[in-house]
Copies of this chain bind each other. A is one copy, B any other.
Amino acid sequence: MKVHDSKAAPNPRRVRIFVAEKGLDVPFEEVDIVNAVNRQAEFRQKNPMGTVPVLELDDGTCIAESAAICRYFEEIQPELPLLGVDATDRAVVAMWDRRMEFELLLPIADSFRQHHAFFKGRIEQCPEYAEVAKRRAVQNLAWLDEVLADRQFVAGERFSVADITALCAVDFGRVSKIGIAPEQKNLARWHEAVSARPSAKA
């Protein structure tokens, strides 16, 4: 197997951190997204959406979508669970992971792609929406700071995929000048803790 990867995009990092946390030995192969190799016909046979990451299994099955790829790795390596430990916990972790995706990663990504030159001609952009998304992202960081007041990690007292999604979102905020505000002490404490894990270098 191998993962079609890009060091330049936020979503593939979710998979790299997940794999590092699991201690799995999976080859990653860089796709030249700057030159839009991911949008060419050959890559679209692996993923018609033209996005990275894509996990290609030895039988040729291609699995796109970071969350789907992480789910596969959780199944083949259940130890050190990152998607929860029982039925209720798995639902709670899934809820928090989705909140980090929809309330944080999505507006932070839209702040960038809805106006930045990189996406010109790749998607139909809406610069007005980039501004709306940025305000939403800033508001939601303040909300997440409150959430983290009484818990160590996003989904509770255990590190999970929701922390990985949130970390990749917050760090990708830099390109749109979205970041942790000085008064957001809980968010800063959490960010320092998850960034200090060896997996964060992935």
Contacts and interface: CB of A to CB of B under 8 A. Distances in A.
A48 B147 CA distance: 10
B65 A98 contact: yes
A86 to B, nearest CB: 8
Interface string A112-142: 0010000000001110110010011000000
How many protomers of this protein does the assembly include?
2
A199 to B, nearest CB: 21
A143 B71 CA distance: 26
Interface of A: 48-49, 55, 57, 61, 63-65, 67-69, 71-72, 75-76, 87-88, 90-92, 94-95, 98-99, 103, 114, 124-126, 128-129, 132, 135-136, 143, 147
Contacts of A132: 124-126, 129
